[in-house]
Amino acid sequence: MFSSDHRERSNPVAWLILRRMRRPIIVLIVAYAISVLGLTLIPGVDASGNPRSVDFLHALYVISYTATTIGFGELPFAFTEAQRLWMMVCIYLTVISWLYSIGALIALVRDEALQEARVAGRFARAVARMSEPFNVVCGYGESGTRLVDALTGFYVPVVVLDIDPARINELALNEQDYRMYVPGLRADAAETRHLVQAGVRHPLCRRVIANTGDDRVNLKIAITAKLLNPKATVIARAEHAEIAGNMASFATDHILDPFALFTEALTLAWRTPAAYQLQDWLLGPPGSAYQAPGTPPPGTWILCGYGRFGRRLNASLTALGLSTVVIEPDTDLPDMPPGCIIAPGTEAPALEQAGVRAAAGIIAGSDDDVNNLSIIMTARTLNPGLFVVARQNQATNRALFEALGADLTMNPRQVLATHIRALVTAPMLYRYLGRVAAQAAAQAHDLLAGLHATVHGDRVPDVWSVHVDADEAPALAWALREGGHTLRVSDLLVDPYAPARRLSCMALMLETRAGCVLGPAPDTRLGAGDRLLLCGHPPAYGHMQVTCKNHYVLHRLLTGENLPRGTVLRRLRTGR
């Protein structure tokens, strides 16, 4: 009996070819066998008139060029009438057999199962050839597309699974825009074998990102990944509390709900505007133009839509002490808040009833983009000074929302992709933003002011981290271990090509064994194993890498002397 492991290791392409071509091959073999055997059994006459039969070699030769319609000749002697009659039978028999076999071969080339097996085999080989840590992204929808684009922009290898063939075709079309090749496979990521094909068991698989639109599929992916590769970090999307709880029970590392993430950000904008602006700035695409968002004003807020998003927002606004008026067209929703207005919210009477003329702001949070656009346009007609928060559900409507000019626009998929990118490419940044959110308003304002003074606010800065160890920063580790130097944060902020000039970057956070420091002072000492989070202009990162990895450059920065490079000079200097 064959095991399932044996079936997984077998070659499905070869098996399908043999399976589909078995009957045509048998037909050809039988046709040739009958033709050759008949030709050898029918008596013939040689040139001298003596009886002589055709041997097997000549029979096979004659049938071979006859069956392939190359030509016709009577070898090794002229045929008798009986032999010629048999050759006529052989012509029709073998030609029809070849036509049948060629038709089967053409059908095989167009066979969907074979194409899928061929693509799956190429995908599996690409995954097996992975030579550096990679991430498995399950789901290539709008947020998956944004995520893959962001990760490949940071040269982070990615493998993609998606059940929709149109999305995998889109991945192939987008490949020219990525900085590296992204293997993709049309497959159901909820099936274990497909996750294995994607490399979940691969020793270099670092993260599995469950980002499909189905919470239960994401749950299955998270569970499977944790069981097959406990060392891999699992990031899962979950919009329902019960699914999130189930994921947590399986030790899923990060569970993200786009509605909860945006609600937390919006709550932060009310509570600590400086912390919200800092978060919005640092989470943007590096190098892109940045415009600071407006600060939501206090007062009464009109909330249109009371689904998962609306419920979270209503609870958060109420906790902040803000009054809300809810407009919801569905009368069957449970736990409707007191004073809820049953209406779509797209018409003026419902907004008038909600007090739109005196309201501070409105949140169009339904799951229909057309309704949200209509709500905002109607509300602004009644109150032009209204602060507007819009929920955008489809990427195709981006131009409409930009033309609308909402003060804040929430795209659940963009929010999700942004946070996953931060978790993958800059995990320290994610921890930093969490600590900043817990700071007092004055401290958050000082951090924001310091960042503005260092890197200015017209562009989103690059964010990177430095780990003081022999692998990521060998020069720093050497200076502490063998050089006998004292390292400080300021030593990393110097331009290695012009020591008198400071790099356009800022230290955001320092993590040590003793604890964590936000905005460490330039004279803060660094020790082995410390992690430093920085942000700044793109050239600053490259210059700092030279300092961290070239101990000759670092020695010159610390002492002003050039460290001898040759063996003789080094021995003369050190005496050994």
Whether residue 305 is found in the same domain as residue 252: no
Over range 76-81, report the average pLDDT: 91
The pLDDT value recorded for residue 554 is: 87
The pLDDT value recorded for residue 565 is: 61
The pLDDT value recorded for residue 572 is: 47
Whether residue 355 is found in the same domain as residue 395: yes
The pLDDT value recorded for residue 183 is: 94
Which stretch of 135-144, 202-211, 361-370, 434-443 has the lowest confidence by average pLDDT?
A: 434-443
The pLDDT value recorded for residue 161 is: 96
How far apart (Å, rounded) are the C-alpha atoms in residues 230 and 223? Answer: 10
Top-confidence residue, 113 or 462: 462
pLDDT at 571 over 60: no
Which stretch of 160-169, 199-208, 220-229, 421-430 has the lowest confidence by average pLDDT?
A: 421-430
Q: Which residue, 109, 144, 175, sits at the end of a domain?
A: 109
Residue 298: CB partners within 8 Å, gap ≥ 6? 270, 322, 360
CA dihedral in degrees (244, 250, 254, 257; nearest 10)? -10
DSSP secondary structure, 147-193, as one string = HHHHHHHTT--EEEEES-HHHHHHHHHHGGGSSS---EEE--TTSHH
Residues spanned by the domain of 526: 461-574
How far apart (Å, rounded) are the C-alpha atoms in residues 471 and 477? Answer: 9
Q: Which residue, 190, 225, 256, sits at the end of a domain?
A: 256
Burial 379-407 (b: 16+ CB within 10 A, else e): bbeebeebbbbbbbbeeebeeebeebebe
How far apart (Å, rounded) are the C-alpha atoms in residues 134 and 121? Answer: 19
How far apart (Å, rounded) are the C-alpha atoms in residues 346 and 78? Answer: 95
Over range 204-231, report the average pLDDT: 94
Rounded alpha-carbon distances, angstroms, from residue 554 to 50, 242, 375, 470, 542 = 101, 53, 59, 14, 14
Over range 55-68, report the average pLDDT: 92
Over range 29-53, report the average pLDDT: 91
The pLDDT value recorded for residue 405 is: 87
pLDDT at 52 over 80: yes
Whether residue 297 is found in the same domain as residue 415: yes
The answer to whether 258 and 416 are in contact (CB under 8 A) is yes
Which residues are bridge partners to 184 per DSSP?
160
The pLDDT value recorded for residue 69 is: 84
Burial, 304: exposed, middle or buried (Cβ in 10 Å; 0-12, 13-18, 19+)? Answer: buried
DSSP secondary structure, 401-424, as one string = HHHHT-SEEE-HHHHHHHHHHHHH
Binning pLDDT at 50, 70 and 90, where does residue 252 land? very high
Whether residue 334 is found in the same domain as residue 282: yes
The arrangement of strands across the sheet holding 462-467 comes to: 462-467, 531-536, 505-512, 515-518
Whether residue 39 is found in the same domain as residue 101: yes
Whether residue 376 is found in the same domain as residue 275: yes
How far apart (Å, rounded) are the C-alpha atoms in residues 557 and 81? Answer: 102
Q: Shortest CA distance to 343 belongs to which of 374, 383, 300?
A: 374
Tell me, what CATH number does 10's domain have? Answer: 1.10.287.70
Whether residue 83 is found in the same domain as residue 184: no
Q: Which long-range contacts (CB under 8 A, 24 or more apart) does 55-59 make?
A: 59/35
The pLDDT value recorded for residue 294 is: 84
Over range 108-122, report the average pLDDT: 83
Over range 23-50, report the average pLDDT: 92
The pLDDT value recorded for residue 8 is: 46
DSSP label at residue 78: P
Tell me, what CATH number does 412's domain have? Answer: 3.40.50.720
User: Is 123 inside a domain boundary?
Assistant: no
How far apart (Å, rounded) are the C-alpha atoms in residues 179 and 173? Answer: 13
Region label for 284, one of left (φ > 0), alpha (ψ between -120 and 50) or beta (otherwise): beta
Structure tokens at 563: 């460290």
Give start and end residues of each alpha helix (H) in 456-550. Answer: 474-481, 489-492, 538-549
User: Is 122 inside a domain boundary?
Assistant: no
Rounded alpha-carbon distances, angstroms, from residue 230 to 86, 225, 233, 234 = 70, 7, 8, 9
Tell me, what CATH number does 525's domain have? Answer: 3.30.70.1450
Phi first, then psi, for residue 14 (nearest 5°) are -60, -40
User: How confident is the model over 446-461, as pLDDT tens digits?
Assistant: 888 888 887 776 788 8
Number of domains in the chain: 4
What is the residue whose two structure tokens read 């803060």?
524
Percentage, residues of the chain above pLDDT 90: 47
Whether residue 307 is found in the same domain as residue 381: yes
Whether residue 102 is found in the same domain as residue 171: no
Over range 308-322, report the average pLDDT: 89
User: Is 439 inside a domain boundary?
Assistant: no
DSSP label at residue 79: P
The pLDDT value recorded for residue 206 is: 94
pLDDT at 9 over 60: no
Pairing of strands 51-52, 525-526: unpaired
Structure tokens at 335: 């736990």
Q: Which residue, 230, 256, 282, sits at the end of a domain?
A: 256
Over range 384-408, report the average pLDDT: 89
* CA triple 170-171-173, angle to 5 deg: 60
User: How confident is the model over 481-521, as pLDDT tens digits?
Assistant: 876 788 999 999 999 888 888 898 989 999 999 889 998 99
User: Is 165 inside a domain boundary?
Assistant: yes
SS (H, E, C) 260-320: HHHHHHHHHHHHCHHHHHHHHHHCCCCCCECCCCCCCCCCCEEEECCCHHHHHHHHHHHHC
The answer to whether 219 and 145 are in contact (CB under 8 A) is no
Residue 237: how many other CB atoms lie within 10 Å = 32
pLDDT at 85 over 50: yes
Side chain identity at residue 479, one-letter code: A
How far apart (Å, rounded) are the C-alpha atoms in residues 79 and 54? Answer: 10
State the average pLDDT for the chain: 88
Structure tokens at 7: 């079936």
Count of positions (residues) in the chain: 576
Whether residue 236 is found in the same domain as residue 381: no
Over range 542-570, report the average pLDDT: 78
Q: Shortest CA distance to 422 belongs to which of 137, 225, 154, 210?
A: 154
Whether residue 233 is found in the same domain as residue 332: no
How far apart (Å, rounded) are the C-alpha atoms in residues 401 and 407? Answer: 10
User: How confident is the model over 517-548, as pLDDT tens digits?
Assistant: 998 999 999 999 999 999 988 888 889 999 99
How far apart (Å, rounded) are the C-alpha atoms in residues 379 and 453? Answer: 38
How far apart (Å, rounded) are the C-alpha atoms in residues 414 and 419? Answer: 9
pLDDT at 2 over 50: no
User: Is 389 inside a domain boundary?
Assistant: yes
Q: Shortest CA distance to 547 belongs to which of 490, 494, 484?
A: 494
H/E run at residue 389: strand 387-391
Whether residue 161 is found in the same domain as residue 243: yes
